[in-house]
Amino acid sequence: MMAKVFLLNKQIFLEKLLQLEQFTESEQKHKIEELSNVLEEIGKEEFKSVFTTELFNEIHTMIEEKILSMENTILLLKHISYYSNLKRIWIEGFEGTSLCKRFEEMIIEEDEKKEEKNEKLLADLCECYISLSDDYQPKLLCICVSCILKATLKKEGNEEAQKEVEMALLSLSNLDVLCFVEQKQHLNEIKEIFKYHQEHHNLTRLAYQSAWEFLIYRLFFENSLEEDFVNELHFGREAARELDELSKCVEWKNKKEGKGSKETKEELVLLRWLQTCESCFLRCNLWNEEFVGLINSIVQVFRSAKGNYKEISYQTIFLLKETSIRTGVEIKDLMKSGVADAVLEGIQQQTLEDEMINQFLEFFMNLSKKLKREMDEAMDEAKRKIIRRRVFDKLEEEGYEDTITSLYEVLNFLKRKRYRKLSLDIYDYLVND
């Protein structure tokens, strides 16, 4: 049934696109907004099957034949790029098309104008190009990032203005770790966007998350940004608050498998925040107390998603495992934030997939290593005993040792299957008093 629905949505979209020829330019704007509603319903695989090289070349033909104005073309492409970025769908059909080449030429031409430069047109062109391309010319990338950041600075006002900023920042989040952007040139603008929002709350949740994602990808090129990221812009504090507030918007009980598979915007933004946290944990080495609060927020999302929302549940499990690897995280942080409790709850579920069991076991293997390392580094013998006893008592109280022992039979199976990081020695997972 679901496949039929998506097939129908794909057919409706293509029919409505071809029917634009029948309407005036003004009427087309209304019809394009209707197309946006169809885009919201289309699934990921269907999205890819619709937006092919042939389709983008067809849109360019419609421009050439004056069926579509450039203004309406941009409106259409902004809707397409918005939903592809929101749903994290990689569109491969735009690159190299006649439409893509036309946009590249227009961006350079508009940027080089010394007089009567149309800043709005340039920003729109850049937004579409950044969102739909996957191989950027360095010159174009520099123009587009600078132009989009400038267009989003200190923008307030009505819902329409907020939507424009949201779409612009969402396009920047498309620039992943493979896209080098000269950081020093844009750092002041990025900082200003964050600080202005933290004071005036002028961005939507998606816009704010997108700005963070753009910045965190830049950490892969510029380590010196970590101090700004952690202590000046307060990623840990801000991410924790966003996760807490978004979690309240999700109807967890209605997300069980087989019940309404359509994802709401809040759920998609929540997933994006979790993936941004993953990027942070993988790249940012600095640590402060605000991250303990962030981990606690991830724990709360895990507990809500457990048994209700598979994709979010797995993403949180992976994040909790990553906390046990980070060198800056101490045993006291893991206990204080409730990670150990949450992982124990998870591993004791009746039905678990192999990948989930692997993440849980890796967490406790890393916890055991971390505890041993802290014991070796602790000079105070009394402190050693207090830390070890506290962890042992907690895990013993929750029946952890019995749970791990019961999984011994599956360790060899998991390791043979593909999880080579796992140890076959059961004592590597245990904490002895």
Cα–Cα distance for residue pair 190/181, rounded to 1 Å: 13
**CB within 8 Å of 317: residues ≥ 6 apart:** 302, 343, 346, 356, 359, 360
**CB within 8 Å of 33: residues ≥ 6 apart:** none
Cα–Cα distance for residue pair 424/76, rounded to 1 Å: 55
Asked if the model's pLDDT at residue 1 lies above 50, the reply is: no
Cα–Cα distance for residue pair 175/146, rounded to 1 Å: 13
Q: What does the pLDDT look like over 286-334, one tens digit per residue?
A: 889 999 999 999 999 999 998 888 889 999 999 999 988 887 788 888 8
Cα–Cα distance for residue pair 363/366, rounded to 1 Å: 5
Confidence of residue 3 (pLDDT cuts 50, 70, 90): very low
Residue pair 429/404 in contact by the 8 Å Cβ criterion: yes
Residue 268: its pLDDT value, please?
93
Mean pLDDT (whole number) for 388-412: 64
pTM of the shown model: 0.86
Mean pLDDT (whole number) for 43-51: 81
Cα–Cα distance for residue pair 128/75, rounded to 1 Å: 9
Which amino acid type is present at position 13? F
